[in-house]
Structures are given as structure tokens and as C-alpha cells.
Amino acid sequence: MVQRSFKWMTMLLLLLSLVVTACTGNNAGNTEEAAGDPAPSAEAGGKTDEKPAEEAPAAEAIDPYRMPEPATFTTFKHLGADAKLPEGDTVEDNQYTRYLKEKANIEVEILWYASGNDYEQKSKLAIGSGDIPDVMFVDEQTFKTLANAGQLEDLTEVYEKYKAPLTEELYASTNGMALEKATIDGKLLAIPNIAVQADALSMVWVRQDWLDKLGLEGPKTVADVENIAKAFVDNKMGGDGTIGLTAGTLDAPMKAGRHNLKGLFGAYNAYPGNWVRDGAGNLAYGSILPETKAALGKIRDMYAAGLIDKEFAIRKDTDQMVVSGKAGMFFGPWWSGGIARDTYGNFPDANFKVYAIHDDKGQLNNLQLPVSSRFMVVRKGMKNPEAAIVYINTYIRSERKAEPDALKLDATISTEFWPIGNGTFDYANAVERKSDMLADALAGKIKPEELTPEVKLLYDFAKADEAAPRKDLAGWGRFWGYTEPAQLLKLPMNSLYNEFTTTTKTMERKWANLKKLEEEYFYAIVMGNRPLDDFETFVSEWKAQGGDEITAEVQAEVK
């Protein structure tokens, strides 16, 4: 008896405590709302806060950078674990929040913030339970889900009314594709970010000192890469077990990563893992197209000949192969200088140069990034959605230093501390722009004082390196990416997009298995455990196990 009653008591106590915490949670939320809304109207001297929105159209000129009345909205945000603030500042009160209050008359109430996985989980939980803030950044899939669930405010009108010229200019640099991406059924349901396209191009980084020793030219085609790798391996340039070319995953991600073979696939017009147009112009999954088979065949041959890292599939730290001076070539994006820098630390005589690999028609194929991958969404029914537009105008103007006071902001403080967090809003060709500016400054065409603070910093590092080459390797790593590698970004190229970046109904169910099928086959083919012609078996299995269904869905959705 005693036992039983105690069990109940404990259960009751626990339940009670749960209920209590739940209630206090709700109360807090209510008071926040209650406190948040009347405040502006009180400051506005008794006006109701709907009035400004109604008055706005009547007003002659709309200031896209400032709310006429103080505005407040709620959000939650991601904050990197290593983001730091100066003493005394908090996530709720720092230079950015103060700047925003001063310039835009906007205050943002941060419901909570978290980093990494915690953020992912917490935000998904909040979204899953329908508890979304007024404004937040989400990924494309979440954006679509929320849009389809009818939870987002239509921003078409407020965007048209409040957009700032600079904001418009940035969107124009994507040829309108960014805004199109956020438009569903003719309604603009989010403010999309703008990706910097430089991260898409996969270039090949070569040990130039080895090339020079062997009297070879830099690579232009896959055949060159093969020959150079062979020369490196045969002459044991990195000692016994020299690796001609490193490798990583067997796909072509939109954001070029170090060691994956995106650049090599590109030379075959192959884009495994992406939805691209096939020979007949239909949207198809790149991994099952004949171009991918051709590329895999080449990689397989190079692997069998010992030119590609024998153990690439099981390496946990491929960078180490380069840094330890064993590998002569690797594919990577423009910012890969970090491992070149580390290599120089070990081998002062080493030297890297970057090259772009062309296909047999002499064309450089570049699968670009999605124009936008992050979306600022506004909760349906938010009181003053124009505040979100004003916010983003202000954010962009400050980030692009188009306003004198923005220069006073301490650039070393992560922009993640902007109330809604970090989203890239830049020209699609921002890296090229900066590298041009840097080149002009170094050539004396622009005075260093005229540079943006960002480029000025690069300029200082470059100047220091000019005076004492490679003395400060950390500094070298900071600016070098903006010199030679960034110049490659300006080569004429055939740019294409992965045309489908979310998921369909059947994909949700079957994609993981198809992905596994693909990985198993690709690795087995490249490493010689299966004949190349098993690619056809893979294709038919892929189609039979749901691939055809998914392709039909994707085609229907893109049309």
C-alpha cells in the first residue's frame, strides 16, 4: 500500500512540476508578446501600431532604411560556438543591435539562440510544433515546407514598396533568380540570400616545384592531370608511396570541396548527385547519365594505375597527404590555400599553383551554387512585415559598407551577432570583385585608403608578404586566395545549375537507399571490385528502386 501511494505521489509531483514549467513557459511567452506590442504604440503617443502601416502608402517618400515608428519583432537564431563578443556586450545588446536600433528603429527580441546541432534540433522542434517566431532564417527545404503549410506571410507588396536600391542591385546580380526561388505561386514568401558563386569552381592545385623539376607544363585537360600524376608517381617526387592525385567522395557537390573530384567530373560534363539536363534536354539525375560512367571509367583507370590515392575511400584526413608532402595534386575551391600554407610550413621550397581543367572541347564546365540556400521568412500574420524588409535593407547596406557609420562597426565581430543571424547577401561575384580591387591596389591604380576595410586588410597582408615573402604564413593564407585562384574564376565558363535542390514525396521515403546504392556501386567500380559495365546494372537498379518515380516527380515539379 505504502509503496503504491508513493509511486502515485512521485508521479503526481513530477506531473505537477511539468505542468508548472509548461505554464511558466507559456506565461513568459505571453508577457513577451504583451510587452512587445503595446510598447511602440505607447512611444508613438497613443497611436495604435497598425496605423503606421496604413499611413505608409499615403506618405510621399518611404525610407527603406528606417521604420517611421519603433518596431519590434521576435526571432531565434543560430550562433557559432566560437563567436565572441567584447566585454559587456550580449547577444541581445551588441554593436549590431544598437546600430539597428539607431539606424532602422528596429529592435529584435531573440527568443533563444543555440549553435550547431542544438540549433538544428531546437529549431526543427519549434517549427514542428508550430511555434515559429516573427522572422527567421531557414534552409530551402524548411522554407518550402512552411510555405506549403501556409505559415508564411506574402511579402510581394512590402518588398516592392520597401526594397532599397542596393538590395535590388544585389538581387539583380543573380539575374532575378534569387527572388524567383523564393516566389511560390506568384507570391514572394521569403527574402532569399545570395550565394557567392566563387565557391562552386573546383580547380586543381599542383605542386609547381615538382612540375618545374620535371620540366612539365601545368594541366589543362584530364589527360594532362593523368600524365602529371604519372610523372609524379614514377619519379617518386614525394618519396615512396607518392600520391599523384588525392580523392575524396565520388560526387560533384555544388559547393566544391577539397579532394572531391568535381573538377574532373566537370571535364566529362558529369554531375553525379545533381539534377541536370541530359543529352535530350530533360531533367535527369546526374549520377545515372552516361557522362558519369565515362568519368568513373577514367577515375577507375587512374586508380588502377596507382595515380590516385589507393586508400582515398578510407582516409579520414586526406589533407595530411598534401601537408606531409606526399601528394602532388588535389582538387579544391579557391579558398584551399590553408593546406598549401601548412605544406609550406613543412617544406619551404614547395610551391602551389592552380589550374582549371577543361573538357575535350576546351570548355570549362562549372556547376554553380544555388543562387540562394537560406531564406528569411516572415510568420503569417506578423503585425508589420515591412520591418523585415527594412531590417534586411539595413543589414545589407551595413554589410556592404555602403553607409559611413557602418565603417565604425568592428569588423572582427562576427556578423552572426546581427539579430537574425548570418546570411550571405553579396554580389554573386563578390570574390572576383574583391580580387580585382586587391589587384588594382597592388598595381597602384587605387589608393589603399580608398579600399573597403575588408580589402584593405587583404592588401596589408599582401604588402607584408611582398616585403618578406612567406615570413608570415598565416597572413599569406589570408590573402593569397584572392590572387591567383580568384583570377581563375574569371575564365570563360559553361555555367549550369543543379535544378532541383529540395525533396519530393517519394524521395523522402526512398532517397537514403538510392544514395547507398549509388555509393556502393561507385566506390566498387572505381576501386576495381566491379567491372565498369556494372554501371548499367546500377542504373537499372536505381530506376527500379524508385529512381524513375522520383525523376517523374522532379520533372513535374520543375516544369
Residue ranges in contact with another protein by CB under 8 A: 2-3, 6, 10, 13-14, 124, 127-130, 141-142, 145-146, 148-149, 151, 241, 310-311, 313-314, 316, 503, 508-509, 511-513, 515-516, 519-520, 522-524, 527, 529, 545
Residue closer to another protein by CB (options 88, 130) is: 130
> Closest separation between CB of residue 18 and another protein, Å?
8
> Closest separation between CB of residue 125 and another protein, Å?
9
Q: Which of 495, 524, 542, 511 is nearest to 289 (CA)?
A: 542
Residues 6+ apart with CB under 8 A from 170: 194, 396, 400, 425, 426, 427
Q: Which residues pair with 271 in a beta bridge?
A: none
- Percentages helix, strand, coil for the chain, rounded to the nearest 5? 50, 15, 35
Q: How far apart are CA 177 and CA 193, in angstroms?
A: 11
> Closest separation between CB of residue 347 and another protein, Å?
20
Residues 6+ apart with CB under 8 A from 490: 432
Q: Which residues pair with 496 in a beta bridge?
A: 367
State which amino acid sits at residue 353.
K
The upper half-sphere exposure of residue 531, i.e. CA atoms within 13 Å in the direction of its Cβ, equals 4
Q: How many CB atoms lie within 10 A of CB 227?
A: 16
SS3 assignment, position 26: helix
Q: How far apart are CA 553 and CA 261, in angstroms?
A: 29
> Closest separation between CB of residue 551 and another protein, Å?
18
Residue closer to another protein by CB (options 294, 313) is: 313
The upper half-sphere exposure of residue 252, i.e. CA atoms within 13 Å in the direction of its Cβ, equals 33
> Closest separation between CB of residue 142 and another protein, Å?
7
> Closest separation between CB of residue 314 and another protein, Å?
5
Residue closer to another protein by CB (options 204, 261) is: 261
Q: Which residues pair with 152 in a beta bridge?
A: 379
Contact between residue 73 and residue 387 where contact means Cβ atoms under 8 Å apart: yes
> Closest separation between CB of residue 79 and another protein, Å?
21
Q: How far apart are CA 519 and CA 531, in angstroms?
A: 15
> Closest separation between CB of residue 141 and another protein, Å?
8
Residue closer to another protein by CB (options 335, 511) is: 511
> Closest separation between CB of residue 22 and another protein, Å?
12
Q: In the numeric block, which cell numbers belong to residue 406?
A: 557602418
Buried/exposed code over 49-76 (b: 16+ C-beta within 10 A; e: otherwise): beebbeebeeeeeeebbebbbbbbbbbb
Q: How far apart are CA 21 and CA 87, in angstroms?
A: 32
> Closest separation between CB of residue 143 and another protein, Å?
10
Q: In the numeric block, which cell numbers belong to residue 203?
A: 580547380
Q: In the numeric block, which cell numbers belong to residue 516?
A: 547507398
The burial of 489, by beta-carbon neighbours within 10 Å (0-12 exposed, 13-18 middle, 19 or more buried), is given as: buried
> Closest separation between CB of residue 88 and another protein, Å?
36
> Closest separation between CB of residue 123 and another protein, Å?
9
Terminal Cα-to-Cα distance of the chain (whole angstroms): 69
User: Could you say which DSSP state residue 314 is in?
Assistant: G
Residue closer to another protein by CB (options 42, 149) is: 149
Q: How far apart are CA 212 and CA 316, in angstroms?
A: 31
> Closest separation between CB of residue 317 and another protein, Å?
9
Q: How far apart are CA 11 and CA 199, in angstroms?
A: 55
Residues 6+ apart with CB under 8 A from 28: none
Contact between residue 271 and residue 367 where contact means Cβ atoms under 8 Å apart: yes
Q: How far apart are CA 540 and CA 107, in angstroms?
A: 56
